[in-house]
Amino acid sequence: MITFNNLFQKRILVQDGAPPGWRFREVELLTGTGLTLWRGANCLFDKLSFSAAPGGALLIRGPNGSGKTTLLRVIAGLTLPEEGEVHGNGAPLSRRDESGRHVMAYCGHATALKPDLTTLENLRFFARLSGYPTDSLGELLAASGLVACADLPARVLSAGQKRRAAFARVLMSGARLWLLDEPQTNLDSAGRQFLERMLQEHLATSGTAVIVAHQAVDLGSAPTAVLQMGETA
Amino acid sequence: MNLGLGGLFWVVLQRDLMVAMRRWSDICNPVIFFVLVVALFPLALNPRAEFLRALAPGVLWIAALLAALLSLNQLFRADIEDGTMEQLLTLPYPLGLVILAKTLAHWLVTGLPVVVVAPMLAITYHLPADAIGILLLSLLIGTPTLSLLGSIGAALTAGLRQSGVLLALMVGPLMLPVLMLGARATDIALSGDDPTGPLYLLGALLALALSLAPPAAAMAIRISAD
Amino acid sequence: MWTWFFQLASPPHFYRMAASLVPWLLWPALLLILVGAWGGLVLAPADYQQGEGYRIIYVHVPSSYLSMMVYVTMAVAAGIGLIWRIKLAHAVAASCAPVGATFTAAALITGMLWGKPMWGTYWQWEPRLTSELILLFLYFGYMSLRSAFNDLNQSDRASAVLALAGVVNVPIIHFSVLWWAGLHQGPSISKIDAPSIAFAMLWPLLVMILGFTLFFLGILAMRVRGEVLEREFHSRWAQDVLRGVSRVEAA
């Protein structure tokens, strides 16, 4: 049985003989302080603060339109907050890791798959960007349940399969911080299990995850904080 | 660590070319449009050889500029819509380099075919061989500048629904110096004079655009993806 | 110094301050323009070559000077807004564009009116007019990009990038137009040679330029007030202003 951690370890060994610990930087404390954002005349959040310790998950909940996705995009650095800042490990997260390692993996509603490329070609691009060994892609596809559609153009994939491909991309990134926007959308029960297992292993290896979720996510024993949005709106 | 900057450039370039190859119409449309525009002038004006010859530098350059303007709309649009841009934006790499790779890929599939076809069309306009050489050279130096300038406009409008005319209106005036220099270089060669002056100036504009346009487009794409 | 700066940039403070500033800009502007017009149209002698027709420079030159000045002001304000994220600067940039476009149109129209007696035609592809025309396109592009966004924040930042790209291009466009015009030996009349111009003709021109500049600043202050009020519509101080509460407290 392939565990995701095995996939990481393998990648490290293949990589450049670096000591296996290099990618697991000990502390990656994620903090947001005083975040404020207005959309037109609507205040999405005002002086919002949160933190997530390594090995812990932060669940963002709230009704539609309460700014959950926007908050996740603020953490990812895709949206500029009007005030406040997001820090990873005490340094502004917007300042990227200069060693070229992925600091974060963002998985939004859009799956970033090119409809005309096959699943494998799509994933190979991200594998090369994140330095994941492309010859291990087969195992990753097997673990994500995508072997059957490896050579199919992404446009014929079902919504759930596209989501699994997006998860495979998150796994490949090797990032310590995962930002997942409603990851359970379109997933069947096997897909949900896959997601939960992958999250549990990520948190068990002291990764951090911020998840926008409507339904309950079983994160095992990992410490989980809940950020309830929508009171201010 | 994993991927040097050159590697990043190459990976993005290769992927964009691969995506373009899967959709032939994206490659063919700008060049077909270019041929169409060039063919309109003799039909609307006058097919006499000496008249067309005087017209050729301007017509070919205007057609190349229009083809560039029309194709630019698609430069970042698909990436914004399918979420690829979100991924590129959260990469720990300089975004300007990614933009430069994408712009080069775009020029290779839309600009280069125009440059290649231009001499053949110049023959139909009875342009002499040495002027055709200068036309080819000026297009080869000038059209990448058009793509680079256009990348700023394309990045600014990539998130908007209706942007074709807006993009042309924004970027068109910025492209005028390239048009003037390129057409004039060919014109000067046609009248038998030395066109190196405008060609050097075109080269200077290319160097300027290479250094300034990618960071500006990177800033613009961050705004558009917001 | 910085606290002063940020206080100035706070919308309610600016709103109050600009209100008291406007009369100090517009009345002197009116006075200067009247003096300049009197000097230019009455006191200055007729040109021995161009006759009375040259007098349109007293509108044309200030307009074309401001058409460029306003673009630069707009780009600088946009750049400040983009880098330091000062909303007031974006409001200034947004307010500059229509004013600048109007000055550009005025410069074009007066240039054409001047062209009729000079060249016998309203339009001549002459470098100054051509540059002015391209500048008008730049303003149009900026304004239509601004109006294309639904989100004000996005619209501010995107148009700022365009303004900066434009301001880098303005000198390039200007010099390539000069080069282009130099190749075509058209009927180019050197309109104004500053050193050789007679003093009686020059001083009204300088007064007019100063008057136009003050006029621009006054109009700008008025427009920015309106812009700020519209942007801060939901805030308490703006509601107070709109309800006619005379005492505007900083929100």
Question: Residues of A with CB below 8 A from C233's CB?
Answer: 41
How many other C-beta atoms are found inside a 10 Å radius of the C-beta of residue C67?
A: 24
Element (H, E) at A48: strand A42-52
Task: For residue C243, give both structure tokens.
Answer: 């309800």
Give the best residue of B152, B156, B201 to mutate against chain C (max C CB count within 10 A): B156
Which among A79, A96, A115 is the nearest to B226, CB-wise?
A79
**Distance (Å) from the C-alpha of residue B208 to the closest C-alpha of chain C?**
10
At C136, the pLDDT band (50, 70, 90 cuts) reads very high
pTM of the model: 0.88
At A11, the pLDDT band (50, 70, 90 cuts) reads very low
Residue A159's pLDDT is what? 93
The one-character DSSP state at A205 is T
Residue C6 belongs to some domain of the structure: no
**Which domains are seen in chain A, by residue range?**
4-228 (3.40.50.300)
Q: Check whether C189 has a pLDDT greater than 50.
A: no
Element (H, E) at A106: strand A104-107
Residue B139's pLDDT is what? 97
Question: Residues of A with CB below 8 A from C152's CB?
Answer: 40
Q: Check whether B78 has a pLDDT greater than 70.
A: yes
Ranges assigned E (strand) in B15-158: none
- What is the distance between the alpha carbons of residues C89 and C99, in angstroms, rounded to a whole number? 16
Check CB contact of C233 with chain A, cutoff 8 Å: yes
Q: Which of C87, C98, C74 is nearest to C152 (CA)?
A: C87
Check CB contact of A110 with chain C, cutoff 8 Å: no
Check CB contact of C249 with chain A, cutoff 8 Å: no
Contact in structure between C68 and C209 (CB atoms under 8 Å): no
- What is the distance between the alpha carbons of residues B99 and B213, in angstroms, rounded to a whole number? 9
Backbone angles phi, psi at A104, to 5 degrees: -140, 155
For chain A, report the end-to-end CA distance as a whole number of angstroms: 47
Task: For residue B214, give both structure tokens.
Answer: 């990618």
Residue C1 belongs to some domain of the structure: no
Residue C19 belongs to some domain of the structure: yes
- What is the distance between the alpha carbons of residues A124 and A130, in angstroms, rounded to a whole number? 10
Please give the C-alpha separations between residue C106 and each of A155, C59, C75, C119, C177, in angstroms, as whole numbers: 54, 8, 21, 19, 20
What is the DSSP pairing of strand A208-212 with strand A57-61? parallel
Q: Answer yes or no: do A41 and C233 touch at CB < 8 A.
A: yes
Q: What is the CATH number of the domain that holds C34?
A: 1.20.120
Residue C9 belongs to some domain of the structure: no
- What is the distance between the alpha carbons of residues C96 and C216, in angstroms, rounded to a whole number? 9
How many domains does chain C fold into?
1
**Distance (Å) from the C-alpha of residue A71 to the closest C-alpha of chain C?**
16
Contact in structure between B184 and C183 (CB atoms under 8 Å): yes
Mean pLDDT value of segment A140-166: 92
Identify the contact set of chain A against chain B, taking CB-CB distances under 8 A.
15, 73, 76-80, 96-106, 108-117, 121, 125-126, 128-131, 169
How many other C-beta atoms are found inside a 10 Å radius of the C-beta of residue A159?
A: 10
pLDDT tens profile C103-133: 999 999 999 998 888 888 888 888 888 999 9
* Neighbouring chains to B with at least 3 Cβ pairs closer than 8 Å: A, C
Element (H, E) at A211: strand A208-212
Q: Answer yes or no: do B90 and A97 touch at CB < 8 A.
A: no
Check CB contact of C178 with chain B, cutoff 8 Å: no
How many other C-beta atoms are found inside a 10 Å radius of the C-beta of residue B46?
A: 11
- What is the distance between the alpha carbons of residues A117 and B20, in angstroms, rounded to a whole number? 10
Q: Which residues pair with A1 in a beta bridge?
A: none
Contact in structure between C106 and C63 (CB atoms under 8 Å): yes
Of C3 and B128, more confident: B128
Number of H helices, E strands in chain C: 8, 0
Question: Residues of B with CB below 8 A from C162's CB?
Answer: 152-153, 156, 170
**What is the overall mean pLDDT for chain B?**
92
The one-character DSSP state at C46 is P
Domain region containing C163: 14-250
Q: Which of B98, B87, B2, B9 is nearest to A104 (CA)?
A: B87
Task: Search chain C and give the residue with CA nearest A79.
Answer: C154
- What is the distance between the alpha carbons of residues A164 and A192, in angstroms, rounded to a whole number? 10
**Distance (Å) from the C-alpha of residue C178 to the closest C-alpha of chain B?**
11
Question: Residues of B with CB below 8 A from A169's CB?
Answer: 87
Q: Answer yes or no: do C140 and B160 touch at CB < 8 A.
A: no
pLDDT tens profile C216-236: 999 999 999 999 998 888 788
- What is the distance between the alpha carbons of residues B121 and B53, in angstroms, rounded to a whole number? 11
Residue C3's pLDDT is what? 64
Radius of gyration of chain B (CA): 18
Q: Check whether C186 has a pLDDT greater than 60.
A: no
How many other C-beta atoms are found inside a 10 Å radius of the C-beta of residue C6?
A: 13
**Distance (Å) from the C-alpha of residue B21 to the closest C-alpha of chain C?**
31
Contact in structure between A77 and A103 (CB atoms under 8 Å): no
Please give the C-alpha separations between residue B15 and each of B98, B101, C134, in angstroms, as whole numbers: 11, 10, 38
Which among C158, C165, C169 is the nearest to B223, CB-wise?
C158
Q: Answer yes or no: do C234 and A39 touch at CB < 8 A.
A: no
**Distance (Å) from the C-alpha of residue C173 to the closest C-alpha of chain A?**
34
Contact in structure between C169 and C176 (CB atoms under 8 Å): no
* Neighbouring chains to A with at least 3 Cβ pairs closer than 8 Å: B, C
Check CB contact of C84 with chain A, cutoff 8 Å: no
Q: Check whether A63 has a pLDDT greater than 80.
A: yes
Residue A12's pLDDT is what? 36
Contact in structure between C64 and C153 (CB atoms under 8 Å): no
Residue C14's pLDDT is what? 87
- What is the distance between the alpha carbons of residues C188 and A148, in angstroms, rounded to a whole number? 73
Task: Search chain C and give the residue with CA nearest B153.
Answer: C162
For chain B, report the end-to-end CA distance as a whole number of angstroms: 28
The one-character DSSP state at A209 is E
Q: Check whether A6 has a pLDDT greater than 90.
A: no
Residue A15's pLDDT is what? 37
Contact in structure between C70 and C103 (CB atoms under 8 Å): yes
Q: Check whether C51 has a pLDDT greater than 80.
A: no
pLDDT tens profile B30-42: 999 999 999 999 9
Check CB contact of B147 with chain C, cutoff 8 Å: no
Q: Answer yes or no: do B2 and A78 touch at CB < 8 A.
A: no
Q: Check whether A23 has a pLDDT greater than 50.
A: no
Question: Residues of C with CB below 8 A from A94's CB?
Answer: none
Check CB contact of A41 with chain C, cutoff 8 Å: yes
Instruction: Say whether A31 sits in a helix, a strand or coil.
Output: strand
- What whole-number percentage of chain C has pLDDT above 70? 88
Element (H, E) at A37: strand A30-39
pLDDT tens profile A90-114: 667 655 444 445 678 899 999 999 9
Task: For residue A106, give both structure tokens.
Answer: 């963002």
How many other C-beta atoms are found inside a 10 Å radius of the C-beta of residue C228?
A: 22
What is the DSSP pairing of strand A30-39 with strand A42-52? antiparallel
Residue B207's pLDDT is what? 97
Which among C142, C161, C179 is the nearest to B223, CB-wise?
C161
Residue C155 belongs to some domain of the structure: yes
**What residues 38-67 of chain C have any CB closer than 8 A to a CB of chain B?**
none
Residue C204's pLDDT is what? 92
Give the best residue of C153, C154, C155 to mutate against chain A (max A CB count within 10 A): C153
Q: Check whether C194 has a pLDDT greater than 80.
A: no
What is the DSSP pairing of strand A83-88 with strand A30-39? antiparallel
Question: What is this model's ipTM?
Answer: 0.91
At C184, the pLDDT band (50, 70, 90 cuts) reads low
**Distance (Å) from the C-alpha of residue B130 to the closest C-alpha of chain C?**
21
Q: Answer yes or no: do C151 and A41 touch at CB < 8 A.
A: no
**Distance (Å) from the C-alpha of residue B151 to the closest C-alpha of chain C?**
12
Residue C5 belongs to some domain of the structure: no
Task: For residue A157, give both structure tokens.
Answer: 């994939």
The one-character DSSP state at A155 is G
List the Cα angle B1/A150/A16 in 5-degree steps: 20
Ranges assigned E (strand) in B105-224: none
What is the DSSP pairing of strand A208-212 with strand A83-88? unpaired
Lowest mean pLDDT, pick from A63-67, B28-32, C17-21, C156-160: A63-67
Backbone angles phi, psi at B151, to 5 degrees: -60, -30
At A37, the pLDDT band (50, 70, 90 cuts) reads confident
**Distance (Å) from the C-alpha of residue A41 to the closest C-alpha of chain C?**
6
Check CB contact of B216 with chain C, cutoff 8 Å: yes
Check CB contact of C158 with chain A, cutoff 8 Å: no
How many other C-beta atoms are found inside a 10 Å radius of the C-beta of residue B48?
A: 11
The one-character DSSP state at C194 is G
Residues 6+ positions from C130 with CB-CB distance below 8 Å? C177, C181
